[in-house]
Amino acid sequence: GCGGFLMTQPADDLERYYTPGSEIETFDDPDELARKIGHYLAHPEERDRIALAGYARTRAEHTYEIRFSQLLEAANRLRKQETGGEKAVA
């Protein structure tokens, strides 16, 4: 996240990561995309608020450090399930 305004098509589980209309914006078809582009070009304060909220969410929840930590936790859970032991991945 570099702080830009993100508008994208909906995707599975997207709402687990960002809140549409608050942290990102979504569109379902080309007509809606065109309408929303016009809206956010005419309302830069709203666009900037959403971009800032999305950036804050990215910095709080979606950094490499957080992702690698989650990956190691998942690897440790799998290892424990497979071996029945307590060996951990550092």
- For the chain, 90 residues long, give each residue's pLDDT as a single digit of tens: 678 999 999 999 999 999 999 999 999 999 999 999 999 999 999 999 999 999 999 988 887 888 898 899 999 999 888 887 666 666
pLDDT at 66: 85
Q: How many domains does the chain have?
A: 1
Q: Tell me, yes or no, whether 2 lies in a domain.
A: no
- The domain containing residue 31 runs over which residues? 7-83
pLDDT at 27: 98
The per-residue DSSP string of 4-63 comes to ---EE---TTHHHH--BTTTBEE-SSHHHHHHHHHHHHH-HHHHHHHHHHHHHHHHHH--
What backbone phi and psi angles, to 5 degrees, belong to 31? -65, -45
Q: Tell me, yes or no, whether 62 lies in a domain.
A: yes
pLDDT at 82: 84
Q: Tell me, yes or no, whether 1 lies in a domain.
A: no
pLDDT at 88: 60
Q: Which long-range contacts (CB under 8 A, 24 or more apart) does 29-37 make?
A: 33/7, 36/7, 37/7
Q: Tell me, yes or no, whether 58 lies in a domain.
A: yes
Q: Tell me, yes or no, whether 22 lies in a domain.
A: yes
